[in-house]
Amino acid sequence: MTIPEAVSLVLQAGASAKGGEIFVLDMGQPVKILDLAKNLIERSGFVPGRDIEIKYTGLRPGEKLYEELLMDEEGLQSTEHEMIHIGKPIAFDEDEFLKELENLYKAAYAETEDMKKIVNKIVPTYNLREMEIERDRKIRESWCDDFPDTRSELPSAFLEQSIADAESD
> What's the confidence (pLDDT) of residue 41?
96
Give CA–CA dist 71/73, Å, rounded.
Answer: 5
Residues 21 and 73 in one domain: yes
pLDDT at 47: 96
To the nearest whole percent, how much of the chain has pLDDT over 70?
80
Do 55 and 102 belong to one domain? Answer: no
Using the 3D structure, point to which of 49, 68, 88 is the last residue of a domain: 88
End of a domain among 66, 88, 110?
A: 88
Residue 147: is its pLDDT beyond 60?
yes
pTM: 0.47
User: Which range, 56-65, 112-121, 147-156, is most confident?
Assistant: 112-121
The pLDDT of residue 166: 54
Same domain? For 83 and 139 the reply is no
Based on the structure, what is the number of domains in the chain? 2
Based on the fold, state whether residues 84 and 102 are members of the same structural domain.
no
What is residue 115's predicted lDDT score, i.e. its pLDDT? 83
pLDDT band at 75 (very low <50, low <70, confident <90, very high): confident
Whole-number pLDDT of residue 145? 66
Q: How far apart are alpha carbons 89 and 22 in whole angstroms?
A: 8
In tens, the pLDDT along 21-69 reads 888 888 888 888 899 999 999 999 999 999 999 998 887 877 777 767 6
Nearest 5°: the CA angle 25, 30, 32 is 155
CA atoms of 31 and 128, how far apart (whole Å): 32
pLDDT digits (tens, 9 = 90+) for 80-110: 888 998 887 777 788 999 999 998 988 888 7
